[in-house]
Structure 1
Amino acid sequence: MPPAKAAIFLVVTVRPGAEDDVRELLGDVPSLTQAVRFRIPEGNLTCVVGIGAELWDRAYDQPRPAGLHPFVELEGSKHVAVATPGDILFHLRADRMDLCFELSRQLMQRLSGRVDVADEVHGFRYFDQRDLMGFVDGTESPTGAAAVDAVLIGGEDPAHVGGSYVIVQKYLHDLGAWDALPVEEQERVIGREKLSDIELPDDVKPSNSHVTANTIVDPDGTEREIVRDNLPFGAVGSDEFGTYFIGYAADPDVTEQMLRNMFIGDPPGNYDRILDFSTAVTGSLFFVPPADFLEDPDATVAVVSEVPSTPVDARPDADGSLAIGSLRRSDRS
């Protein structure tokens, strides 16, 4: 799917004793999404549900997915990737904010008295997919079949085929300090030309540029990818401006390696210079299960002996973008 024009990123914590009620609600998310989407079908409303490690242990009898764990806080020589509470992520995206807002309202009505909101961000598309620092965001995200392959779990974790992992972070920008930089210096921080979005040549691009820190290459030369669905957000009255980072991957270690490069540095101390202008104030990791797990988490998990190499496209009635969280185990078996 194309980048979202509007989104609500809603992270909640579940109150003790409310786990059964919350599990029931999560099973109804696809039907709630369909009910709201039906009112404006061309609005492309979707909702992805992510489950945190601590809630998984409290609410589900099955072993954790292989890569699910609490977000690991990273403390570098100057900057910290903080870990913050989060049991459930609702990633609502559409071409119109009213659709996201209505679905989030319906979800929170059902969850009233059972959860507490840890973070809520309303993101918007900014001009030609730029962040508030003026650069195009998400340029290197894969598309089409490559995106689906990068996102969906396969035979490496047979019990959770069709699922995914998602890491979210809320970044606040010091736009005053950023705008004081000459454009040429901003480009060196990012690793791209500001106007054209063309990556700087290797002999010009600094080793601590944002592009360099976020490029992960295996020893055999294969570049490892994630799907970003970032959006900017802001409030002019409170002088709050930022980017909501959200990265989907079949293996959370890919995203975690990017964060290690950013905050600790490779080598250590050579941190991503964008962090001098952009501060992470939240950090959480979630597992996005297939739709049939949400609807019936107690169903027998089929062991998948072989996963087809051809990725499954997102169905028109899918409740998640790029089929994230919308596939059924049988779709990949």
Structure 2
Amino acid sequence: MAQRANLQPQSVDAPLTQFATFLVLSVHDHPDALRTARATVAGIADLAKNITIRDLEARFTCTVGIGSDIWDRLTRLPRPAELRPFPTVQGSVHTAIQTPGDLFFHIRSERRDLCFEFERQLMDQLGDAVAVQDETVGFRYFDMRDLLGFVDGTANPVGPAVPDAVLVSQADTSGVGGSYVVVQKYLHDLTAWKALSTEQQEAIIGRTKADNVELADAEKGQQSHKTLATIEDESGEEHEILRDNMPFGSPGAGEFGTYFIGYTAQLWVIERMLQRMFVGDPPGLHDRILDFSRPITGSTFFTPSASMLASLEDD
């Protein structure tokens, strides 16, 4: 923990806010584009400060993630031990797909206008050095619920457990103080979901809908989403991740979804969770939430410590 303290982390554990923008960009393969992208991410703290100062109570933050394919060209820093592209996970029915992305910006605030203004200034700086792969605007829905009607993020670590769950330890010296982040954009079939009874929905999720009480795990056979998303190692120790999922959508366009974002100190934890969800445990019994929620993106990034990010300017 001492080495972590010397490397100020980015705000991966910032409080949950009312609004967020999730921005995935690709950097054009040209020296000028790389220089522009490097200078922009190195100076992200100054850009964020320009927005934060407008309303200190709005809890504005921006976290920057860097993808595997561009890491060596953009940073010239040692590669974090587990950094690799998002793995395509092919189940018998559903597939977790991989989509492009070199840079990821997780922009959060209690005010939508601050997220908008930061993104505007960010894109002005990046200019034609980048191409937008995905831009999703999320919002908090009632009492932390997703658009399926269930409370989301219940399994998040709290208090002193957060740093151990999300910040890379000294065992991964090239990534210490940083965090791996996996993002997926899911679209919901709400018509089919609403055709289920509340009891059927609760069995799929593994919690009660009204009061968010955890249901017992099935002794064998089909497991709930809650069970399949709980990851234990060979010794039986549970490994937590920090989710900052948000609903998004447009009723007029008939689009309803959840943007999954998971921060973790160990990338294998989320990768194993995806295997359990899409392949099933036992294999063949996939997470039934996937029958109603379809992933249309999938990317992995690493968020270096704030000090390492700022050091890129020296390059």
Q: 1:35 aligns with which of 50, 65, 73?
A: 50
Q: Which runs of 4+ in 1 moved over 3 A?
A: 203-207
1:12 aligns with 2:25: yes
| In structure 2, C-alpha distance between the alignment counterparts of 1:241 and 1:293, rounded to whole Å | 37
1:189 aligns with 2:221: no
Partner of 2:249: 234
User: What is the root-mean-square deviation of aligned Cα atoms in Å?
Assistant: 1.5
Matches within 5 A, 1:1-333: 1-17=14-30, 18-203=33-218, 207-297=222-312
| In structure 2, C-alpha distance between the alignment counterparts of 1:299 and 1:104, rounded to whole Å | 24
Q: How far is the alpha carbon of 1:265 from its aligned partner?
A: 1.0
Partner of 1:318: none
For residues 223-259 of structure 1, the C-alpha deviation after alignment (integer angstroms, 9 at most, x for no partner) is 1010000000011121000000000001111011101
Kindly provide the amino acid, as one letter, of the partner of residue 195 in structure 1: A
| In structure 1, C-alpha distance between the alignment counterparts of 2:65 and 2:148, rounded to whole Å | 28
CA contact (8 A) 1:189 1:206 kept: no
CA contact (8 A) 1:169 1:244 kept: yes
Q: How far is the alpha carbon of 1:299 from its aligned partner?
A: 6.6
| In structure 2, C-alpha distance between the alignment counterparts of 1:160 and 1:193, rounded to whole Å | 39
For residues 12-33 of structure 1, the C-alpha deviation after alignment (integer angstroms, 9 at most, x for no partner) is 0001111111100111111110
| In structure 1, C-alpha distance between the alignment counterparts of 2:235 and 2:219, rounded to whole Å | 25
| In structure 2, C-alpha distance between the alignment counterparts of 1:175 and 1:237, rounded to whole Å | 14
Q: How far is the alpha carbon of 1:58 from its aligned partner?
A: 2.3
- TM-score normalised per structure 2: 0.92
Stretch moving more, 290-299 or 84-93: 290-299
For residues 289-314 of structure 1, the C-alpha deviation after alignment (integer angstroms, 9 at most, x for no partner) is 011222113779xxxxxxxxxxxxxx
| In structure 1, C-alpha distance between the alignment counterparts of 2:174 and 2:289, rounded to whole Å | 38
CA contact (8 A) 1:191 1:205 kept: no
Q: How far is the alpha carbon of 1:205 from its aligned partner?
A: 9.6
Structure 2, unmatched stretches of 5+, are: 1-13
| In structure 1, C-alpha distance between the alignment counterparts of 2:58 and 2:266, rounded to whole Å | 30
SS in 1 for 2:174: helix
Kindly provide the amino acid, as one letter, of the partner of residue 15 in structure 1: H
Q: How far is the alpha carbon of 1:158 from its aligned partner?
A: 1.5
Kindly provide the amino acid, as one letter, of the partner of residue 278 in structure 1: S
Kindly provide the amino acid, as one letter, of the partner of residue 3 in structure 1: L
CA contact (8 A) 1:23 1:294 kept: no
| In structure 2, C-alpha distance between the alignment counterparts of 1:271 and 1:173, rounded to whole Å | 17
Q: How far is the alpha carbon of 1:220 from its aligned partner?
A: 2.1
> 1:58–1:67: structure 2 CA closer, same or farther, 3 Å change rule?
same
| In structure 2, C-alpha distance between the alignment counterparts of 1:219 and 1:114, rounded to whole Å | 45
> 1:32–1:198: structure 2 CA closer, same or farther, 3 Å change rule?
same
Q: How far is the alpha carbon of 1:161 from its aligned partner?
A: 1.2
Identity over the aligned pairs, expressed in percent? Answer: 53
Structure 1, unmatched stretches of 5+, are: 301-333
SS in 2 for 1:296: helix
Count of residues paired in the alignment: 300
| In structure 1, C-alpha distance between the alignment counterparts of 2:159 and 2:249, rounded to whole Å | 30
| In structure 2, C-alpha distance between the alignment counterparts of 1:258 and 1:66, rounded to whole Å | 19
Kindly provide the amino acid, as one letter, of the partner of residue 266 in structure 2: D
